A and B are shown apart, each in its own frame.
Chain A
């Protein structure tokens, strides 16, 4: 039993967003911290908050550093969602290593709408781009929110398709708020943050302190969150080593629907479509295969 629960104060283990934000960042600065090690730690105590593991002074210091860094990066308004606090989406707990805290800009409530992810290769073919845009339009027409990363290729096409159709889109990024990858999507990221919803689970201080090659590891992890936020994932196209396949595995693990466009099955240079179909993915020959499965 932690001290907070023994507190004679009015609230049971109350949450201060600033303290939790700082404590979460401090946990990420510990040597060897990963989504898995953090999730394992919180799994041992389902009621723990980040501040239960971090001295108050360190949490405060980290919070101040995050504020300063984000402000310097031009992020003047943002929010956080914290496990156990109001408005934290329960569906995130379906992830294998569920995140305890997320940063966001924009309208958080979009997460409460029906969401479907559209993902695929960064080096997408012209057909892949066209398919991603069309799917985004059709999702918007059916009042679904489009969810994607902010990578080149399929991801960007999905966001642009949704925005052009007047729909809602959520971008889950593999960089902290205030950073953008690739740089060429900075304008798109800003539009999404202002008019839609931009989500990052990437710790600001750890990202700033470690080498770029280590920061790459944040990208597949955002795919897991993207899947958890949605009813299903549609893979437009992807190679055998694509990060998109992380999302495919996550979707099946989380009990979400996984749709793979038929053109992926027709390629002879990849093997994953048949493998995932055997595990329950839906082979999409016409868009109706998606709509009927989503119900």
Chain B
């Protein structure tokens, strides 16, 4: 495991930064992404910035980095996961903010999931989003989508719901408030009761002046 970054678990020291998460949620992340700073701030900010490049920019030279970032994230997450778990898990990518008919529809999380092992694990976009929303990282403070908004938009894709998953990993790039995770968890738990669900994130968001709110406990 030399050079393999292990997953860190959201615990009492970091849960407050992601206020939609509860003590029962099992969420794991690899890195910390610093909010309100640009891509040049850190290697993780650069990785996430490359990952979020818009598909409508696919004809531009810098778009090449998106593919690189997808590969990096898929390999890093795959190496940090228990192969026995990955062998039986169903990975469910969080849908991008744009619906499939939008020019910026982005399947980056699905591609990351497929790269986590060879042969590819069971990756199913079980949660579909009916309409586009503003991406969280582009939304103003008051415009952010809520858990309820998302639950209205989310629907289980019944065409791929069988066989029922044994265990589910919800996969996303950045854990911010936990809004998408909470909505995904609610939708999936309602459809597949008693199936264990975890969250897997490339990075969790921290604020530049608020690393880990350890003292706030």
Contact = CB atoms under 8 A, between A and B. Distances in A.
Chain A partners chain B = yes
Interface of A: 7-19, 21, 46-47, 67, 70-71, 75-80, 82, 84-87, 90, 104-109, 112, 194
Nearest to B207: A77
B103 interface: no
Given A86-B29, A109-B41, A15 B6 contact: yes
Given A85-B6, A86-B5, A8 B82 contact: yes
A108 B75 CA distance: 24
A14 B198 CA distance: 13
A10 B8 contact: no
Contacts of B89: 10
Given A10-B89, A86-B44, A70 B7 contact: no
B162 interface: no
Contacts of A79: 206, 211-212, 214
A106 B44 CA distance: 17
Contacts of A86: 5, 8, 29-32, 44, 203
Contact of B9 (A7, A16, A76, A106): A16
Given A11-B80, A12-B1, A67 B212 contact: no
Interface in B72-103: 80-82, 84-86, 89
A59 to B, nearest CB: 12
B31 A87 contact: yes
Contacts of B148: none
B77 to A, nearest CB: 10
Interface string B23-60: 00010111110100100011111000000000000000
A79 B31 CA distance: 13
Contact of B200 (A10, A104, A106): A10
B11 A11 contact: no
B78 to A, nearest CB: 11
B216 A11 contact: no
Interface string B131-161: 0000000000000000000000000000000
Contacts of B34: 107, 109
B12 A18 contact: yes
Contacts of A70: 214-215
22 contacts: A7-B82, A9-B85, A10-B198, A11-B7, A11-B82, A12-B80, A14-B6, A14-B8, A17-B14, A18-B214, A67-B214, A75-B215, A78-B211, A78-B212, A80-B212, A84-B1, A84-B6, A85-B8, A86-B5, A86-B29, A107-B208, A112-B42
B42 A77 contact: no
A9 B203 CA distance: 20
| Secondary structure class of chain B's binding surface, majority of residues | mixed
A67 B217 contact: yes
Question: What are the 9 tightest A-B residue pairs by CB atom distance, in nearest-first order?
Answer: A79-B211, A109-B42, A76-B215, A86-B31, A11-B7, A79-B212, A16-B11, A15-B8, A18-B13
Contacts of A76: 213, 215-216
B29 A108 contact: no
Contacts of B7: 11-12, 14-15
A9 B200 CA distance: 13
Contacts of A71: 215, 217
A82 B206 CA distance: 17
B177 to A, nearest CB: 18
Given A16-B11, A86-B31, A104 B211 contact: yes
Contacts of B178: none
Contact of A17 (B13, B41, B85): B13
A17 B210 contact: no
Interface core residue of A9, A70, A71 (most chain B CB under 10 Å):
A9
Nearest to B215: A76
Contacts of A80: 212, 214
Contacts of A19: 11
Interface core residue of B6, B28, B210 (most chain A CB under 10 Å):
B6
Contact of A77 (B8, B169, B211): B211
A86 B175 CA distance: 15
